[in-house]
């Protein structure tokens, strides 16, 4: 079996707030295989973005991170700052949700790509310009050479996201971290960007971790999915398995709450209540207060993430009582 590209073990992130310490990520474990697109999904406050940022130690004190993030034989959480700097933006690049706030408004797009080329590839001057134009072309920006001297505000939302991807790719990364890269975009542009990411993954042999709350985006983009709830990883599975036969009551509830076809204007099946408050979590399973399958055992101890079938992990005591899903997938159009 091939070795994982990235291994996360017992990752914990604690954020001090005036109302007490917020335990945003609680003991997360996962492996990322080379060339894989892993979707990290969850609702707001589930800890998915905080997890992603911890992988390259983007949190500063007083935020505390513990655990290990093993990459290339090193624990990135304990690596020296110099080492981390060469990995960040080099072997591991990141793209963000809001290209307008992630790009520097007073530097041209060409200069911002050039910065990365100089730092991680040692390219300067004409060679850097040539390569920057190639990168813009790769991401599908028309007349790339002319566009190098444009500022971010001269680009549309979709083009800014392409430019950010071009900057991220300049160092020829082996791992791309994408935090809601298409959430701010229109659906036709989102479609273009997601196809672009999949094409680049093939051409450049990258692995990708995609953080999103959109289950449609997951179904259309990811190979494997990790579902987060209340700061915990509650289920991981191959994308087909997850959408056809979820093994955690939360995943099931999430998929069942979406409108499917053939039930026009019939009531939906919402999950009652709201997401948990990370400052005062219930003692057992964080999903127990909203769960339709809850029993006393769920409320006493927090169930660990266990392998319930080959390659499938679930932190649900009742994983084998959950029905397989068909109706959501039988829709015709959307």
Partner 1 sequence: MTVPLSKSTPPLMEIHSLTKTFPVAQSLLSRWRGQPRRAVQALTDVELTVRRGETLGIVGESGCGKSTLARTLVRLYDADRGSVRYGDLDVLSLRGPALRQYNRRVQMIFQDPYSSLNPRMTVEAVLREALSVHHMRPAAEQPARVRELLQLVGLPPEAAGRLPHEFSGGQRQRIGIARALALEPECLIADELVSALDVSVQAQVVNLLLELQERLDLTVLFVAHDLRLVRHISHRVAVMYLGRVVEVSDTEAIFTAPRHPYTQALLAAAPTLDPSRRTAAPAITGELPSPLNVPSGCAFRTRCPHAFERCATERPALLKLEDGPEVACHLYDPVSTAQATG
Locate the DSSP E strands across the chain.
6-17, 20-32, 37-41, 64-71, 74-75, 92-95, 175-179, 207-212, 224-229, 232-238, 306-309, 312-314
Angle, vertex CA 311, rays to CA 331 and CA 223, nearest 5 = 50
| Residue 97 Cβ vs partner 1, minimum distance, rounded to whole Å | 15
Considering only residues 233 to 272 of the shown chain, the ones binding partner 1 according to CB under 8 A are 239-240, 243, 253-255, 257-259, 261, 263-265, 267-272
E strand residue ranges, 252-295: none
Q: Is residue 146 near partner 1 by the rule CB under 8 A? A: no
43 part of the interface to partner 1, by CB under 8 A: yes
User: Which parts of 47-86 interact with partner 1 (CB under 8 A)?
Assistant: none
Q: Which of 57, 151, 192, 293 binds partner 1 (CB under 8 A)?
A: 192
Q: Does 332 bind partner 1 (CB under 8 A)?
A: yes
Taking the complex as a whole, the smallest distance from the CB of residue 104 to partner 1 amounts, in Å, to: 22
| Site stretch for partner 1 (CB under 8 A), options 83-91, 115-123, 218-226, 306-314 | 218-226
Contact 175, 91 (CB under 8 A): yes
Q: Which is nearer to partner 1, 91 or 192 (CB)?
A: 192
Smallest distance from partner 1 to CB 239, Å:
4
Q: Residue count at the site for partner 1 (CB under 8 A)?
A: 52
Residues in the chain: 334
CA distance 11 to 55: 9
User: Is 128:118 a contact under the CB 8 Å cutoff?
Assistant: yes
Site for partner 1 in 172-191 (CB under 8 A): 186-191
Find the shortest distance in angstroms from Cβ 293 to partner 1.
15
- Residue choice 20, 62, 216, 301 for contact with partner 1 (CB under 8 A): 216
**Least separation, in Å, of the C-beta of 269 and partner 1?**
7
3-state secondary structure of 283: coil
In the complex, the smallest distance separating the C-beta of residue 51 from partner 1, rounded to whole angstroms, is 18
Give Cβ neighbours of residue 285 (< 8 Å, ≥ 6 apart).
291, 294, 298, 299, 302, 303, 315, 316, 317
Residue 270 CA to residue 260 CA, distance in Å, equals 13
Cross-sheet strand order for the sheet of 232-238: 92-95, 175-179, 207-212, 37-41, 224-229, 232-238, 312-314, 306-309
- Choosing from 124, 199, 205, 279, the residue that interacts with partner 1 (CB under 8 A) is 199
Shortest distance (Å) from residue 224 CB to partner 1: 11
Element (H, E) at 256: helix 249-256
**Interface with partner 1 (CB under 8 A):** 43-44, 156, 158-159, 186-192, 194-195, 198-199, 213-217, 219-221, 239-240, 243, 253-255, 257-259, 261, 263-265, 267-272, 274-275, 290, 328-329, 331-334
């Amino acid at each position: 079996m091939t070795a994982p590209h990235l291994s996360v073990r017992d990752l914990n992130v604690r954020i001090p707030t005036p109302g007490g310490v917020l335990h945003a990520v609680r003991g997360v474990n996962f492996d990322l295989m080379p060339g894989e697109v892993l979707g990290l999904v969850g609702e707001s406050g589930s800890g998915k973005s905080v997890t992603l940022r911890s992988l390259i130690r983007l949190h500063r004190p007083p935020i505390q991170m513990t655990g290990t993030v093993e990459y290339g034989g090193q624990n990135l959480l304990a690596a020296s700052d110099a080492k981390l700097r060469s990995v960040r933006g080099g072997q591991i690049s990141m793209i963000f949700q809001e290209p307008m706030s992630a790009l520097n408004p007073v530097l041209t797009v060409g200069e911002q790509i050039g910065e990365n080329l100089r730092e991680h590839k040692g390219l300067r001057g004409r060679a850097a310009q040539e390569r920057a134009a190639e990168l813009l072309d790769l991401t599908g920006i028309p007349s790339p050479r002319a566009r190098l001297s444009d500022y971010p505000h001269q680009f549309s939302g979709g083009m800014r996201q392409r430019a950010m991807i071009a900057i991220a790719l300049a160092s020829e990364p082996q791992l791309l971290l994408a935090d809601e890269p298409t959430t701010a975009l229109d659906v036709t542009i989102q479609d273009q960007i997601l196809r672009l990411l999949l094409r680049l993954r093939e051409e450049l042999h990258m692995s990708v971790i995609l953080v999103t709350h959109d289950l449609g985006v997951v179904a259309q983009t990811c190979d494997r999915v990790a579902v987060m709830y209340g700061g915990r990883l509650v289920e991981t599975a191959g994308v087909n398995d997850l959408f056809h036969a979820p093994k955690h009551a939360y995943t099931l509830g999430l998929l069942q709450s979406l409108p499917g076809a053939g039930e026009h204007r019939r009531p939906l099946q919402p999950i009652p209540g709201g997401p948990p408050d990370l400052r005062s979590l219930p003692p057992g399973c964080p999903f127990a207060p909203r769960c339709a399958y809850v029993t006393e055992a769920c409320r006493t101890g927090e169930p660990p993430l266990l392998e319930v079938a080959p390659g499938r992990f679930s932190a649900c005591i009742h994983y084998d009582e959950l029905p397989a899903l068909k109706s959501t997938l039988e829709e015709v159009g959307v």
